[in-house]
Amino acid sequence: MFLAGTQIGASGTGSPGRTPKEAPADREQIEAAFKLAQAAAAEYEIRVGEGDKALDLQREPVLRWSNPSVGVVHGNVFLWTRDGQPLIVGSLFKWFTPFTHMSHEFQSLTDESIDCNFHGKPVWKTSEPGLQFSDLPKAPALAATAEQRLLQIKQLAKDFAGSKKERDGTQVELRLLPQPIYRYAVPKKGILNGALFTLVHGTDPEIFVLIEARGETVPGGNTRPPG
């Protein structure tokens, strides 16, 4: 069984797994923004549901971005996970011009409640689901191997589309980045494969798409839907 959920993403341009191309003069700012973001991310303590254990921060960003159309700003997207499953996505970015402040944007990727502290102080609390999965009824039967299921997930991701309304009223169609920015599996929860994609304007991530292949393995390496 394949399930999918979508969420509005944090603003910024980026490319998965690598730093955007930059002029030599920008490199110091990019590195400074990265260090600030990584240090700030480490100060967040996020708990999901009734558990006492805080989520695990993936210290390396899954996306590094800049947005020259609005000024000089560099950001990094981090994930907070449990057993490798992404439950919180955060974009932490530093302005250099026309502003000088730093901003933190977060989105829940779970249907559980969130309690978040920053420097030991509560800053974010939710009781509503941040994400709801929907079954993909036209999805194919689960493939036998992780590699084959990833190909299935990538194909399913191509069916997602979105648009963005600019401040001047212009409607812009978004484009799916073909490669997921994060992949995972949590077999004990029945998640055989999971992948986080982004829909972008140019290379600016505007929407997150999370697709999971859920089922269980059976003797012979085959899979079957849960239940």
- Residue 71 CA from chain centroid, whole number: 24
**Domain spans of the chain, in order of start:** 2-224
The stretch 74-79 carries a mean pLDDT of 92
pLDDT at 60 over 80: yes
Q: Is the preceding omega at residue 98 within 30 degrees of 0, hence cis?
A: yes
pLDDT band at residue 45 using 50, 70 and 90 as cut-offs = very high
- How far apart are alpha carbons 215 and 227 in whole angstroms? 8
Cα distance from N-terminal residue to C-terminal residue, the chain: 11
| Residue range 128-158, pLDDT digits in tens | 888 888 999 889 999 999 999 999 999 999 9
pTM of this prediction? 0.84
Helix, strand, coil in percent for the chain, rounding step 5 = 15, 50, 35
> Can you read off the two tokens belonging to residue 74?
């560099």
Q: Hey, which residues does 117 pair with through a beta bridge? A: 45, 122
- How far apart are alpha carbons 107 and 97 in whole angstroms? 25
pLDDT band at residue 65 using 50, 70 and 90 as cut-offs = confident
Q: Using an 8 Å Cβ cutoff, are 213 and 149 in contact?
A: yes
**pLDDT given at position 21:** 52
| Residue range 92-131, pLDDT digits in tens | 999 999 999 999 999 999 999 999 999 999 999 998 888 8
Phi, psi angles (nearest 5°) of residue 146: -60, -40
Phi, psi angles (nearest 5°) of residue 131: -155, 140
Phi, psi angles (nearest 5°) of residue 161: -140, 160
**pLDDT given at position 226:** 54
pLDDT at 222 over 60: no
How many of the other CB atoms lie within 10 Å of CB of 133? Answer: 16
159 versus 20: the higher-pLDDT residue is 159
**pLDDT given at position 20:** 45
Segments of the chain assigned E as strands: 2-8, 13-16, 44-48, 56-66, 72-82, 85-97, 102-108, 114-118, 121-126, 134-135, 163-165, 171-173, 175-176, 182-186, 191-201, 204-214, 216-218, 222-224
